[in-house]
Structure 1
Amino acid sequence: MLSLFGSILLTASVQYFNDTPRANLPVSLFAAISTPTLALEPVGSDFALDPTAAEVVKTLLLDLKASGYSELDQGVWIQTNSGALLATHQGTRPLPAASLTKLATTLAALSTWEPDFQVVTIASTRGEIVGNTLQGDLIVQGSGDPVFVWEEAIAMANALNRLGIQRVQGNLIVTGFFAMNFETDPQKSANLLQRAFDSANWDDEILKQYAKLPQGTPKPRIAIAGATRYELSIPSTSATKELVRHSSVPLRRMLQLMNIYSNNTIAEMLATSMGGREVVIQKASSAAGISPEQIRLINGSGLGQQNQISPQAAVAILIALQNRARSLNLTLADLLPVSDCKCGTIDIRHLPPGALVKTGTLSDVSALAGMLPTRDRGPIWFAIINRGEGDIETFHNAQDRLLRSLNQKWGGPNALLTNSFTSRPWQDTNRDRLMLER
């Protein structure tokens, strides 16, 4: 079977040998296999913007001005895959961008770990299994899994059941870097874990999530006789025996979930695991080839007005993400939501088909950045940052109209371009490893 790359080369060769000049081939044909390049900031007053892009940006600014929003609070950057700048408005000025800064967290994470990296949560004990009872404490040590939710806890409990444990004579002790269901209070997370371990204590919320698991998944029964508590660390008074090692979903799935739902806990935990905001800034700016001055962070999630990024920097990070993803046999679609999904933060947006986007929203900030595939101009990389007190939907509607206008003028994507941004399907597997033989 011909590869996508081979098909493109064959098509190009046929057209060339039929005396069709290469320049007449569709831009999107070569854009589909070319490496995106960041456009440079224009120098001088004689820089000519693309008329189509300049017009839609002008319309956006005029519409917002008519609604009472200052042009000084808006930022835009629009460019082609080859690095031609089509339109800009305050493109290099850092602006409050809310969760758009999660793009920096995403790039820093992929610069730190491989896409299939998994975080391991370990269940262990200092006691012995006698019959169906663990005589001693059950210790669960976290290592920073940001997506440890009901389903993960149920899987771990079922693994413990397979070891024959149905009752814990001692305490349930949770330790280390542990959060469950995006609850950042470790004691509350420990209590959630205890509830998940024993199906006799399940409520409607847990049953709803259980119903999404594969048919036939057992309902675990692990009754904790003692207390449930969180301890930052466990004194090494005696050796522990590992019972189960539970691996998280792979990093690329974590990042995709974080960006689809703009989940702050996932972003904060990943940033913490990397070493904090300074590390995120350094890794993201280095990987994107931009000045750290264009990325100003106080955390990894984007919560707070002090989290600022320029529209150009947002596009630079997107381009770096696509190039990094390609080197890993992935695409940007493995990390960001596609407009067609109608999911997460874009479930009620009116975006053109095939667009890969990341949103950002605070009470007075709305940001949208991503890649818009077009027939005539190939992939269009963009970032729009809007700010002002009022109805945030005004910003959403203006952003959506801008992208739809470009889509109408330059045409929707062809199959070739769409396929070059197709995600690699991810399927879950059993991620629990029993560490004892029974």
Structure 2
Amino acid sequence: MPLASRSVSSRLSSFALVAALACAALGHMPDAEARGGTKAESQAQRPEHAAKGGAKSKRAAKNEAKHEAKHEAKAARASVPAGPLPAPVMAALARAHVPLSSMSVVVQRIGAPVPLVSINASEPMLPASTMKLVTTYAGLSMLGPDYRWKTTAYADGDLDAQGVLHGNLYIQGTGDPKLVPEELIDLVNQIRKSGITAIDGALVLDKRYFDASTRDLPAFDNDDTAPYNVGPDPLLYAFKSLSFTLTPGEDGQVSIDVLPQLAQLQIDNELRVTRGACTGSLQAASPSVAQTQGGFVQASFIGDYPLRCGSRTVNVAALDHSTFFAGGFLALWKQTGGTFQGATREGATPSNARLVGTHRSPVLSDVVRDINKFSNNVMARNLFLTIGAAQSKPPATTAKSAAAIQAFLKRSALPMNGLALDNGSGLSRDETISAASLADLLMAANASPVAQVFVESLPVAGVDGTMRNRLTKAGALGNAHIKTGTLRDVRAIAGYVGAANGESYVVVSFINDPRAEAARAAHDALLEWVYEGARRPGAAE
């Protein structure tokens, strides 16, 4: 929806695994903190509203309180460094010891010819996950909101009367970013309906849609087991992450549940329930995952687990993509009664193989929602490569994708000075964009045919996604659709704010500074200032 339409919709993912592992791709799980108070309660807690309180029968006390409040406000303003941003933002920067030179900001009313605020706006900056806005807008515009990925199954050889395939089963992927168990089971059922109950040959994974150069890249921060570091793959399954839920019991045992199921996964549970306090980082909850002889994968848990810690969920990005997909597929295959005793390998589907099943992904608009709400890196990277493959011939490469997006932006009269694309997710020290360029893109997106889908995909302040626990007691609650970005030394926001006066604004701000983490309050103050009317800094009240 163009932001002039002020309704806010919030829809949970239909699959618990998608929500859990998509958020795990951020490096943390969503917490269960409540949304916060009402708008009226939020206003009552702000200093300017508190200073106006008091009953008429206590007029003297009221006047004295107002006098003191004005005096304190004047003293506070005097201590805030002067600058081109509103005083609360400047004060937050000062508290964080972040200089204005480390910040790049654009605030522009939708429909206005020039920005209201423009600071270091043309400087290329690290945008972190706000780069996903470029990828998702380009994807929606170039592929269409109803675009679907296909994962297909082929068979060669003979099928006997007992349903045994005397040949190979081929699974061909095109990069479906949301191929979770509830989706892959559709392909498994189609294969079974084709008459196949047992496979006497090999399970062959056809992954030619993405070039080999896009795989097995070094982890962003050298943490190979972090879900946010999972790389792209044509047969990406369940974000290539295992989600273990540990629950201690009064009987001294710790139960362990895992999603998704992998056929070759074994759990070695040597956890012991203790009665002590729940302190520290609970190292016992983090397993070591390793492949063993015989093709099995063992997740080992060992140590003390305090009962008071309650249930915990830990997410681990384990194994390579082919091993993970094969394990997931075969677990579902066996659950439906299928049998398989062969080997798994990668390879091309022969031209004479016959089609035995086709699974189509959820529509792109749903995928984009998950990417932006939960800031899922690997889903964004798969979409980025898909754009390149769709605009030119597969196999996809990052260079093809970057060229395709740049060409689209040029056709859209968005030159995007300072834009450098690497993997399309923002999980990079090489991807840059200027605040002015990203603001131009947001303006164009809001006036485009995909405006409603795009805007609704962004986290809503105080309501959902990565903005769920921000501005929960501010006027901007429910009135700002904001994509966030976080890297070491980087904090970023970009999106739309519906102001209290009925006007709508584009807001983009990047902070690139070693103290960026401490300056998040400056971004919150900026969003609240825009919501309250975005009066030009220094203008008369």
Same fold (TM over 0.5): yes
Q: 2:457 aligns with which of 335, 343, 348?
A: 335
Q: 1:261 aligns with which of 374, 377, 382?
A: 374
Aligned partner of 1:389 in structure 2 is 514
User: What is the Cα deviation at residue 391 of structure 1?
Assistant: 6.1
Q: Any idea what SS the aligned residue of 2:171 has?
A: strand
Aligned partner of 1:405 in structure 2 is 529
CA distance in 2, matches of 1:388, 1:167: 58
CA distance in 2, matches of 1:74, 1:88: 11
CA, structure 1 residues 252+172, in 2 after alignment: closer, same or farther (shift >3 Å)? same
CA distance in 2, matches of 1:356, 1:241: 47
**Mean Cα deviation higher: 353-362 or 263-272:** 263-272
Q: Tell whether 2:340 aligns with 1:250.
A: no
Q: 1:127 aligns with which of 137, 145, 157?
A: 157
Aligned partner of 2:194 in structure 1 is 163
CA contact (8 A) 1:195 1:201 kept: no
CA, structure 1 residues 201+241, in 2 after alignment: closer, same or farther (shift >3 Å)? closer
Q: How does 1:68-147 map to 2 (within 5 A)?
A: 68-83=97-112, 84-130=114-160, 131-147=162-178
Letter in 2 for 1:182: F
CA, structure 1 residues 101+281, in 2 after alignment: closer, same or farther (shift >3 Å)? farther
User: What is the Cα deviation at residue 284 of structure 1?
Assistant: 3.1
Q: How does 1:11-410 map to 2 (within 5 A)?
A: 56-83=85-112, 84-130=114-160, 131-176=162-207, 177=209, 178=234, 179-183=236-240, 188-199=320-331, 219-231=335-347, 233-234=348-349, 236=350, 239-273=352-386, 274=388, 275-287=400-412, 289-324=413-448, 327-328=449-450, 330-343=452-465, 345-350=466-471, 352=476, 353-390=478-515, 392=517, 394-409=518-533
CA distance in 1, matches of 2:510, 2:124: 10
CA, structure 1 residues 137+166, in 2 after alignment: closer, same or farther (shift >3 Å)? same
CA contact (8 A) 1:199 1:221 kept: no
CA distance in 1, matches of 2:383, 2:342: 32
Q: Any idea what SS the aligned residue of 1:366 has?
A: strand
User: What is the Cα deviation at residue 254 of structure 1?
Assistant: 1.6
CA distance in 1, matches of 2:505, 2:152: 45
User: What is the Cα deviation at residue 361 of structure 1?
Assistant: 1.1
CA, structure 1 residues 191+251, in 2 after alignment: closer, same or farther (shift >3 Å)? same
CA, structure 1 residues 124+200, in 2 after alignment: closer, same or farther (shift >3 Å)? closer
CA, structure 1 residues 328+360, in 2 after alignment: closer, same or farther (shift >3 Å)? closer
CA, structure 1 residues 341+158, in 2 after alignment: closer, same or farther (shift >3 Å)? farther
Letter in 1 for 2:405: V
CA, structure 1 residues 375+261, in 2 after alignment: closer, same or farther (shift >3 Å)? same
Letter in 1 for 2:143: W
CA distance in 2, matches of 1:375, 1:241: 60
CA, structure 1 residues 354+360, in 2 after alignment: closer, same or farther (shift >3 Å)? same
User: What is the Cα deviation at residue 322 of structure 1?
Assistant: 2.2
CA, structure 1 residues 220+391, in 2 after alignment: closer, same or farther (shift >3 Å)? farther
User: What is the Cα deviation at residue 67 of structure 1?
Assistant: 2.1
TM-score (norm 2): 0.57
For residues 346-386 of structure 1, give each alpha carbon's deviation from its aligned partner in whole angstroms, at most 9, with x where no partner exists: 23322621311111111010100111112315111110111
Q: Any idea what SS the aligned residue of 1:76 has?
A: strand
CA contact (8 A) 1:315 1:381 kept: yes
Unaligned runs of 5+ residues in structure 2 are 5-82, 210-233, 242-316, 389-399, 536-541
CA contact (8 A) 2:499 2:533 kept: no
User: What is the Cα deviation at residue 148 of structure 1?
Assistant: 1.7
CA distance in 2, matches of 1:342, 1:329: 19
CA, structure 1 residues 290+201, in 2 after alignment: closer, same or farther (shift >3 Å)? closer
User: What is the Cα deviation at residue 198 of structure 1?
Assistant: 4.2
CA contact (8 A) 1:197 1:222 kept: no
User: What is the Cα deviation at residue 409 of structure 1?
Assistant: 4.7
Letter in 2 for 1:330: Q
CA, structure 1 residues 329+98, in 2 after alignment: closer, same or farther (shift >3 Å)? closer
Q: How many residues align?
A: 335
Q: Any idea what SS the aligned residue of 1:386 has?
A: strand
CA, structure 1 residues 68+410, in 2 after alignment: closer, same or farther (shift >3 Å)? closer
Unaligned runs of 5+ residues in structure 1 are 6-53, 203-218, 412-438
CA, structure 1 residues 201+271, in 2 after alignment: closer, same or farther (shift >3 Å)? closer
CA, structure 1 residues 323+276, in 2 after alignment: closer, same or farther (shift >3 Å)? same
Task: Tell me the percent identity.
Answer: 24
CA contact (8 A) 2:491 2:512 kept: yes
For residues 134-185 of structure 1, give each alpha carbon's deviation from its aligned partner in whole angstroms, at most 9, with x where no partner exists: 2211100011212222222222112222333332111111112322223499
Q: Any idea what SS the aligned residue of 1:336 has?
A: coil
CA, structure 1 residues 292+407, in 2 after alignment: closer, same or farther (shift >3 Å)? closer
The CA RMSD over aligned residues, in Å, is: 2.9
User: What is the Cα deviation at residue 58 of structure 1?
Assistant: 4.8
Which structure would you say has the larger Rg?
A: 2
CA, structure 1 residues 391+75, in 2 after alignment: closer, same or farther (shift >3 Å)? closer
User: What is the Cα deviation at residue 81 of structure 1?
Assistant: 1.1
Letter in 1 for 2:452: L
Letter in 1 for 2:121: G
